[in-house]
Structure 1
Amino acid sequence: MDTTTKLLGGLLITTMAMSCGTGTQEQSAKEEDPLANCPVVGQYVQVGDNQVLSCDQSLLGDTVHIPLSYFAEEPEIVKLDNRDEALVGQTTVTISDNYILTHSGYPLRAFKLFDRKGNYLTDIGTVGQGPGEYQSVYDAQIDELNQRIYLMPWQSDKLLVFDMQGNILEPIPLGYRCPKAKFRVDPVTGIITIATLPWKDTPAVVWTQDMTGKHLQEIAPGHLKGEHDTSNQEILHSPTLPDVFNLCLFFMFPARVDSLYQYDTEKNQLKPVFTLNHTTDPVPWHGYFEWPNHFTGEFSGPPIERKTKESWTFTQGETYSYIIDKKSGKGAYFKLYNDYLGNQDIKFPDGIFSKGYFVRSIEPGNLLTDIEEALKRQDISDAVRKKLTDLQNTIDDDDNNYVMIAKLKK
């Protein structure tokens, strides 16, 4: 049964804009609501059975600067093990209560498992093209309850499974070959939720199944269908909220209006919860995310074209981030800064919100540069200045990466 709700691109907002203030506003960590003086930029509209917060880009006004402390507790900074076999380089990070899992794409290395103190434990599997091996991996999960690690290859009909010692176990069949799939395994029930690119001949865009591969329910692509083109399409799974399976689709050429969806497993529905009415034509590259009390999003200016001897390449233009309060509908463009460590701006995806945490993996040279720049500022407290100086004295350019982990406030 396909119960996906139709696109929301035609929604109009009639709320009048008010000024957030004059110019860019610095927000104190002591203020209760950094959006209190901002205009109402979105309102809830009824779409089928769903209440959808629809925001109008033309109502977004000034840029507010919001401290990380408004969203997250004070971060711990974990220095990863310096042994040769533990080095990670440029890396993405998956966090659980007791573990850190890293994946380095440049150069390609095996996943590496650390404890939350940074001690290297083991490699997870092996890079390669043989059975149980992997190269590009699109999503990962640590299952502490069952002492398992799951890896979703870039395009596969199997979910790879490893024990906490890094040994390959029997993979989980998926039923369909999944390009760029996102997933979540429920450790208690063993039910797996999977979302994949909705190509025209793909039977489902999202489904649930058990560990044997038996499909329990699914949703056909419907109006979400797209052409076969892995270089032009992404699924932006937004796992900020541990108990909510969010997703939105990212299409580049051409970009198209869409919504942020929650997958309701009980009703087997993709429920639209948020959308932005873009005022630019054509529609820019964009993505939506859900935080505990806000919806956020990004969109970029026109892509920059570069021609080489072999082909054309495209990179996104300047990126704009915005935030809307779920209850009040107030919102603005925003920038996030780390008031715990010298008020440095946080640039996505350098720091991300994922599965209940703010996480950033930092190479030692970049961390030293951040600290040096922060120490030049006059607006940091003596306590923060001492913290930065003490940290600076412990860092060496030859260190392994540092991982910043801050638990999100509810």
Structure 2
Amino acid sequence: DREGKFLNDIGAMGQGPGEYAGSLYSEAIDEKNRCVYLAPFFGSNKILKYNLDGTFASVIELGETLNKPKLHLHPDGSLSVTHLCFKGRNEMMVAHIAPDGTLTSYKPTAEQIINPMDKDGNFVGFNNEIWSYNNTENFNFMTMPTDTLYQYNPEQNRVTARFALQNPPKGKDVFLIYNELPGKFLATVWGTGTIAIDLQKQQSHYVKLVNDYFGGLPAPMNFTNGYFFAMYEPLVLMDKIEERLSASGCTDKDKEVLNKLLDSLDENDNNVMFIGKLKH
């Protein structure tokens, strides 16, 4: 729970009812309807549904094997899932499950489907990635082969382009990751930095994030399910605090907060997580 108290396990590794073989790739927690959805990494055509107490409830059969699926819970309690749709192996790109269990599937266009083979005929489909961070009510997602953030509309069963950079940085090792926050888009240029695009002001800038609740510590651009988060091993966090304390711009107030945090840490502690809820 929010105080760190263990509640329960959800499912388990195995082949039986409510169990999953291998790792999981996505989850959705429906607190209103008191259930949890889990999606296996690959090789399964099912989404597993559990009660909030961790007991198994049911499976949702999709009729097609999923590859790195991403789940999205809509305000009406319906559920959508997208995945890497491989050419010659998959037909469905997105599925929507209504509260009454009705399943609707979206078939991709030629531009949206992914070729999983390299020039030598080797299967490399899982080298691709899919991102969906669920920071707004819209179901947005992006796949590595494309430069566009897509949005799925369940009422129309359509996938449309939501956002893309004009004249994005180019390079052999450059790839982009898009994320939508309330009122903003984030475009992470891998290896370079993150661009924030303000929708109201129609402005964009490379940005850095600092944790001003904890002495101006540098913070990663991690936003998912409506929250900021950052997790550190204690020694790593201690090093970051020492680095910040030695910075020229570290104020006396910052030093007071940072030293108090530093004194509370032990290198044998569990990881430390910072969490903050996004404002609308």
Length-normalised TM-score, structure 1: 0.60
Report percent identity of matched pairs: 32
Matches within 5 A, 1:210-225: 210=98, 214-225=102-113
Match of residue 247, structure 1, among 138, 141, 147? 141
Partners in 1 of 2:37 and 2:79 — Cα distance?
11
SS in 1 for 2:260: helix
Displacement of 1:189 in angstroms is: 4.1
Q: Are the aligned partners of 1:248 and 1:259 in contact in 2 as well (CA < 8 Å)?
A: yes
User: 1:404 maps to what in 2?
Assistant: 274
Give deviations 1:247-285, integer Å, cap 9, x for gaps. Answer: 11113xxxxx53112222222222212112335366832
Displacement of 1:128 in angstroms is: 4.1
Equivalent residue letter for 2:52: M
Give deviations 1:40-91, integer Å, cap 9, x for gaps. Answer: xxxxxxxxxxxxxxxxxxxxxxxxxxxxxxxxxxxxxxxxxxxxxxxxxxxx
C-alpha spacing 1:119/1:384, structure 2 compared with 1 (3 Å): farther
Q: Are the aligned partners of 2:39 and 2:69 in contact in 1 as well (CA < 8 Å)?
A: yes
Q: Which runs of 5+ in 2 are unaligned?
A: 117-123
SS in 1 for 2:57: coil
1:357 partnered with 2:227:
yes
C-alpha spacing 1:123/1:361, structure 2 compared with 1 (3 Å): farther
Q: Are the aligned partners of 1:124 and 1:162 in contact in 2 as well (CA < 8 Å)?
A: yes
Match of residue 199, structure 1, among 79, 86, 105? 86
Give deviations 1:99-151, integer Å, cap 9, x for gaps. Answer: xxxxxxxxxxxxxxxx1111122222223455513432111122222322221
Displacement of 1:157 in angstroms is: 0.8
1:116 partnered with 2:9:
no
User: 1:79 maps to what in 2?
Assistant: none
Q: Are the aligned partners of 2:34 and 2:52 in contact in 1 as well (CA < 8 Å)?
A: yes
Matches within 5 A, 1:4-403: 115-128=1-14, 130-131=16-17, 132-155=19-42, 156-186=44-74, 189-201=76-88, 202-210=90-98, 214-228=102-116, 229-241=124-136, 243-251=137-145, 257-276=146-165, 277-278=167-168, 280=170, 284-300=174-190, 318-348=191-221, 352-403=222-273
The more displaced of 358-367 and 274-283 is 274-283
Q: Are the aligned partners of 2:92 and 2:105 in contact in 1 as well (CA < 8 Å)?
A: no
Partners in 2 of 1:248 and 1:227 — Cα distance?
16
Q: Which runs of 5+ in 1 are unaligned?
A: 1-114, 252-256, 301-317
C-alpha spacing 1:149/1:279, structure 2 compared with 1 (3 Å): closer
Q: Are the aligned partners of 1:324 and 1:331 in contact in 2 as well (CA < 8 Å)?
A: yes
User: 1:42 maps to what in 2?
Assistant: none
Partners in 2 of 1:130 and 1:139 — Cα distance?
20
Partners in 1 of 2:226 and 2:169 — Cα distance?
32
Superposition RMSD on alpha carbons, in Å? 2.4
Q: Are the aligned partners of 2:131 and 2:142 in contact in 1 as well (CA < 8 Å)?
A: yes
Equivalent residue letter for 2:108: A
C-alpha spacing 1:126/1:279, structure 2 compared with 1 (3 Å): closer
Q: Are the aligned partners of 2:38 and 2:49 in contact in 1 as well (CA < 8 Å)?
A: yes
C-alpha spacing 1:129/1:210, structure 2 compared with 1 (3 Å): same
Equivalent residue letter for 2:158: Q
Partners in 1 of 2:262 and 2:204 — Cα distance?
36
